[in-house]
Structures are given as structure tokens and as C-alpha cells.
Structure 1
């Protein structure tokens, strides 16, 4: 079953969608914690992209925020949590603006490559947010030093999208049809 062209409107008044958001965020946080020993390899980016495609930017941002805060309770909360939330909010915004209107026409491999690119975008955002702390003179040093981690993040995003999208998108589409009708 492919996602429908129907636009899902996320409302904080819909308790079923809120419960779905909570469960998905908890599962993503668990996945992030499970993959924590592997540097920058986690399912969150692929899930943010998929959820934003189906449910919109607001749902994607809320999902990313909950996932980061809940997983960072275990992995460590700090000033970086704010940067992580901003990074994923930007990814949700890019996905919502540029891909969501065309989600029916974009092939799986192209979406996987987009997820890979978002790994590098996320790394760039983190470097830009940390630059005021270390000084803008060291921005390129910091960014280039993190490129190997961004490459791992991008590779993980591609693999996670290829693995999760064929299972997750039809399942989530059915759940959304059930919860929004």
C-alpha cells in the first residue's frame, strides 16, 4: 500500500495521533540508544523524513524533539540537545517544503539519497551552532574534523531508509488512515 495523496493534519487535540507520536518517539529513542555504540549511525533521520512526508513538518519536528529529549535522558542531556533538535527541525522543514508535495513521484533510491544528504546537512548545522563557542576562526577545522562522522551518518541514513521505508511507510499509512478517520 502506497501513501495516499491525502494530507494528514496533525492536531494536538487528536489523542490517537498524540499517542502514535509518543510510541514512535519512544521506539526511535530506543533505536538511538541501541545504536549508540556506533558513531552517528541511528534511525532518527530516516524516520524524521518519513514522518514529515506523511504527516507534515509539525509532526516531524515534534517527533524529532521528543526523540532527542527522551534518548538524551539516557545518553546525556546538554547544550547539544538544543542543537540536535534544531538540526532535525531543519531537516523536517526541508523535507516538508521540497519533497512532501511530490512524495508520490519520488523513487525509493532518490529518497534514500536525500536522507544521506541530510546526514551532511545535520553535521553542518551542528558545526554552525557550535562555532560561537569555539570561535568562528575554527569553524572549518571543526567541520572538516567531523566529516568522517557525517559520512557515517549519511551512510546509516541511506541504509535505514532502504530497510525501513518499505515496511514503515505502508504500516504508518494504515495507522494514519485509522487514527484520522
Structure 2
């Protein structure tokens, strides 16, 4: 199941839409983490980034991208444990939106290791609009994919 989801996420990352960073990959990772736990969410996130970057290109950004998705999975787990995320639809939408902004922030923070503070400022300021697109895309896609994907994941977990 994770291999199939990683393939779907990879294709969704590669397919370009008119707005950059608008794709349901973060939402899929969030839903998998909510339903199947942290292990499944982390494996899906790492596989998606590694396989999609085979096509999109590896570079110094690959490790920060993986780190950002690891932080996103941990954020979902934190909200799941502290605020019973699965019970509150409006909170799920808020967290999905937040993850778009968090992802960009973490990628930018990781660039500090490479280029110190100026690299963070450059990455974060130049990428903030893309983070807004990412967050808005998450807000739009989450309601569209949550119900069908959660049904499939729950049925798969029961078999």
C-alpha cells in the first residue's frame, strides 16, 4: 500500500499545475499518518521525496525536503495526541493548511546549515509566496481526498 501511495505522490509532485507547490502530497501524508500512524507517514514521506527527486533532481534541497516532511509528520502526531485531531474536522483543515507553511519554514531553516543566516533569509523570503500556495492547496485538496483515501486506508488496515 505504501509503495502504491508513494508512486501516486511521486506522480502528483511531478505533474505541474498552473500554481507552483499546489499538489495534494502533504495532505496524503497527513491522512496516512492520522490513520496508519507515524511509521507509515514517515516511510511515505521519505519514499515520495527520494523517488520524485530521481525525476525532479537531487541536490542540497533533498535532505531539507525530507526533514521538513518528517517535521510535518511529527506535527500531525502531536496534534493527534494533544488535541484529538481525528475527531475535529475544522482542526484537520487548519493543520493541513499549517503544514504547507511549516514545510517551507523547515526547508528554509535547514538551509542555515549550508549557507548560515543569509541563506535562511533568502530562501524564506523568496519562497514565502510558494508556501502560501502550498498552504492554500492543502486547504482545497484536503476535503476532496480525505473521505475516499481514509476509507481505502481503513479497509486496507482491517484486512
How many angstroms does 1:96 deviate by? 1.2
Name 1:106's counterpart in structure 2: 88
Is the Cα contact below 8 Å between 2:96 and 2:142 reproduced in 1? yes
Structure 2 match to 1:134 = 115
Which is further off, 56-65 or 130-139? 130-139
Cα distance in 2 for residues equivalent to 1:81 and 1:38: 21
TM-score in terms of structure 1 length: 0.80
**Which of 23, 27, 30 is equivalent to 2:11?**
30
Contact 1:53/1:100 (8 A) holds in 2: no
TM-score normalised to structure 2 length: 0.91
Greater Rg by CA: 1
Q: 1:82 to 1:170 in 2, by over 3 A?
A: same
SS at match of 1:79: coil
Task: Please give the alpha-carbon distance, in whole angstroms, between the structure 2 residues aligned to 1:53 and 1:151.
Answer: 23
Q: Hey, what does 1:15 align to over in structure 2? A: none
Which residue matches 2:140?
Answer: 159
Mapped pair 1:69 → 2:54 = no
> Structure 2: 5+ residue runs without aligned partners?
none
Specify every segment of 5 or more residues in structure 1 that has no aligned partner in the other structure, as ranges: 1-19
Question: Which segment is superposed worse, 155-164 or 29-38?
Answer: 29-38
Tell me if the contact between 1:57 and 1:96 (Cα under 8 Å) persists in the aligned partners: yes
Aligned length: 158
